[in-house]
């Protein structure tokens, strides 16, 4: 056998030689035909919670065991600070939080952005989101008038939900008022949609799996006109805000303003309650952001674009799946309606305390986590669960299968919100739709607020039914976002 062949054999039997289960040889699971969630489930059934894989010349280890996940996300955060490196083209998108190595720049940008997501900021946002929710319900009601029916209409709820979420994110990030359902042709709505419309195409695969080659070839996975639009928009808005120089009382504290103002805040203001919460609950030292930290305009642009990409499709899919499950379970929908029917106070605090609403949301995120991969890369060699994990290995959690593990979830494939009513989580790391540890989703609080408000308003006003043709949900092949192509449901207006 030639030396090269011996080397390859040695390289691709690394896991086998350690007694770790898994497929042999070079097999990037994301490139396998079929849907990522289905392939993950097959692997779980064949290999169990922990198994090795190879992605070209990189090693990967799936770690769907809550104790090992805690080790990676929290206990050994110093080793696992980085997400997988990807190449998204120019800096105005590359420098986003998710893509940054967990170094000082990530810490600085996360510290500057976190204050936008504190509970007090979220509470202040609530009246704006409520107005958007009312306009959304009103525009949906109009669809009945347009089709001149008082009975039932069928529509793709994913499409209409994406309009609500576009309006919510535009308001949160820029205080821009859009009514995307009424006027879908505005550039911000059109380009917003375009950024997310990424198929699992060659340029994306290259950017995710071989970022250095993508950089060399100057491959851009996202549509350049959409990126340029957001780049110019952020530049223009920052310039306008700085020139306006409004007094504190006149300023709307949206996300952009928080980034612009960061250099004027005191130390205390930057150590926000949600940063404290995450670090305290995970028993790790809290980072100490310092005052005077600023973001360049390019860094601000990258975060604004990320918020569209990270926050839009994920929340749309989560809500669309929830309505899909409710339509299949009229009894659960009825129970939810009974709880929210008389809600008139849409404050963040009130919605957060509705037990069944929150149970429905958790159960939907359990069965249909919008993100199918949460990854960390080992900075240096480490032993996990008696397995040697060499530097550079990608440690991967696949929430779709973790959430279906019968060790933690009884009757795991059934939609049953009651499992979350008055019951503690079976393990703090058994439910991870938002990831975990210091790099967990920064927008979780905002996403939950959007979901609670939107669901309450929708269920108060409409009844959701399975479509007459009841098509199965279809997904994008090889895509690590669990995003249905469309979710067609029947809708009936409730008599008020």
Spatial CA neighbour of 257 closest among 241, 269, 271, 272: 241
Q: Which two tokens stand for residue 324?
A: 């899909």
Cβ burial, residue 62 (10 Å; 0-12/13-18/19+): buried
Contact indicator for 241, 259 with CB cutoff of 8 Å: no
Among the listed residues 60, 133, 289, 435, the single contact to ligand HEM using CB under 6 A: 435
Minimum gap (Å) between residue 435 Cβ and ligand HEM: 2
259: contact with ligand HEM by CB under 6 A? no
Comparing CB distances to ligand HEM, the nearer of 15 and 100 is 100
* Whole-number Cα distances in Å, 36 to 304, 377, 400, 472: 28, 20, 10, 17
Among the listed residues 434, 462, 464, 482, the single contact to ligand HEM using CB under 6 A: 434
289: contact with ligand HEM by CB under 6 A? no
Length of the chain equals 496
Minimum gap (Å) between residue 99 Cβ and ligand HEM: 8
Give the Cα separation of 291 and 266 in Å (integer). 5
Query: What 8-state DSSP symbol labels residue 264?
Result: G
Q: Which residue has the tokens 């060399």?
A: 216
Give the Cα separation of 10 and 399 in Å (integer). 31
Comparing CB distances to ligand HEM, the nearer of 114 and 207 is 114
Give the Cα separation of 307 and 365 in Å (integer). 19
DSSP 42-60: HHHHHH-SEEEEEETTEEE
Minimum gap (Å) between residue 3 Cβ and ligand HEM: 39
Comparing CB distances to ligand HEM, the nearer of 89 and 102 is 102
Comparing CB distances to ligand HEM, the nearer of 81 and 419 is 81
Spatial CA neighbour of 456 closest among 363, 328, 339, 314: 339
Among the listed residues 52, 443, 478, 484, the single contact to ligand HEM using CB under 6 A: 443
68: contact with ligand HEM by CB under 6 A? no
442: contact with ligand HEM by CB under 6 A? yes
Site mask for ligand HEM (CB under 6 A), range 342-381, x = bound: ----------------------------xx--x-------
Local structure of 434: helix, strand or coil: coil
Comparing CB distances to ligand HEM, the nearer of 287 and 443 is 443
Query: Binding residues for ligand HEM, how many (CB under 6 A)?
Result: 25
193: contact with ligand HEM by CB under 6 A? no
- Candidates 222-230, 244-252, 284-292, 305-313: pick the segment binding ligand HEM (CB under 6 A): 305-313
484: contact with ligand HEM by CB under 6 A? no
- Residues belonging to the binding site for heme are 441
* Whole-number Cα distances in Å, 114 to 32, 96, 97, 323: 37, 14, 11, 30
Contacts of 2 (CB under 8 A, 6+ apart): none
Local structure of 320: helix, strand or coil: helix
| C-alpha torsion sign, points 389, 394, 397, 400 | negative
Site mask for ligand HEM (CB under 6 A), range 70-99, x = bound: -------------x-------------xx-
402: contact with ligand HEM by CB under 6 A? no
Q: What angle do CA 56, 377, 220 make, to 5 degrees?
A: 60
- Candidates 242-250, 348-356, 420-428, 431-439: pick the segment binding ligand HEM (CB under 6 A): 431-439
Minimum gap (Å) between residue 386 Cβ and ligand HEM: 24
Q: List residues near ligand HEM by CB under 6 A.
A: 83, 97-98, 110, 306-307, 310-311, 314-315, 318, 370-371, 374, 433-436, 439-443, 446-447
């Amino acid at each position: 056998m030639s030396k090269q062949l011996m080397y390859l054999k040695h390289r691709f039997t690394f896991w086998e030689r350690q007694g770790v289960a898994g497929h042999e040889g070079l097999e990037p699971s994301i490139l396998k035909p079929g849907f990522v969630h289905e392939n993950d489930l097959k692997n779980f059934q064949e290999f169990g919670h922990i198994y090795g894989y190879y992605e070209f010349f990189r090693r990967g280890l799936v770690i769907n065991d809550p104790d090992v996940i805690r080790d990676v996300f929290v206990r050994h955060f110093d080793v696992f600070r980085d997400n997988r490196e990807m190449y998204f083209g120019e800096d105005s998108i590359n420098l986003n939080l998710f893509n940054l190595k967990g170094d000082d720049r990530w810490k600085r940008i996360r510290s500057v952005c976190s204050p936008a997501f504190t509970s007090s900021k979220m509470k202040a946002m609530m009246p704006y989101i409520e107005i958007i929710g009312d306009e959304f319900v009103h525009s949906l009601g109009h669809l009945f008038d347009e089709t001149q029916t008082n009975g039932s209409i069928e529509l793709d709820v994913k499409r209409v939900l994406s309009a609500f979420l576009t309006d919510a994110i535009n308001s949160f990030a820029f205080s821009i008022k859009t009514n995307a359902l009424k006027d879908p042709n505005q550039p911000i709505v059109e380009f917003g949609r375009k950024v997310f419309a990424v198929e699992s195409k060659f340029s994306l695969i290259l950017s995710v799996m071989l970022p250095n080659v993508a950089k060399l070839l100057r491959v851009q996975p996202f549509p350049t006109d959409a990126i340029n639009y957001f780049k110019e928009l952020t530049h223009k808005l920052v310039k306008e805000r700085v020139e306006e120089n409004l007094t504190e009382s006149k300023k709307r504290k949206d996300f952009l303003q928080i980034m612009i103002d960061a250099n004027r805040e005191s130390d205390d203001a930057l150590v926000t309650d949600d940063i404290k919460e995450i670090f305290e609950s995970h028993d790790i030292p809290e980072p100490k952001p310092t005052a005077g930290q600023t973001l360049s305009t390019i860094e601000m642009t990258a975060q604004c674009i990320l918020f569209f990409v990270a926050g839009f499709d994920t929340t749309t899919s989560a809500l669309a799946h929830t309505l899909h499950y409710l339509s299949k379970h009229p009894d659960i929908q009825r129970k939810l309606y009974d709880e929210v029917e008389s809600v008139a106070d849409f404050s963040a605090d009130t919605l957060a305390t509705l037990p069944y609403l929150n149970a429905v949301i958790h159960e939907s995120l359990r069965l249909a986590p919008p993100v199918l991969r949460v990854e960390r890369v080992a900075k240096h060699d480490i032993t996990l669960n008696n397995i040697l994990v060499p530097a550079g290995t990608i440690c991967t959690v696949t929430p779709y299968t973790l959430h279906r593990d019968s060790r933690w979830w009884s009757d795991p494939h059934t939609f049953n919100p009651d499992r979350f009513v008055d019951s503690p989580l079976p393990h703090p790391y058994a439910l991870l739709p938002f990831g975990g540890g210091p790099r967990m989703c920064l927008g979780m609080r905002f996403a939950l607020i959007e979901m609670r408000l939107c669901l309450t308003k929708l269920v108060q006003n409409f009844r959701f039914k399975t479509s007459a043709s009841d098509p199965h949900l279809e997904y994008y092949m090889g895509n690590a976002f669990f995003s249905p192509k469309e979710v067609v449901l029947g809708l009936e207006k409730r008599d008020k």
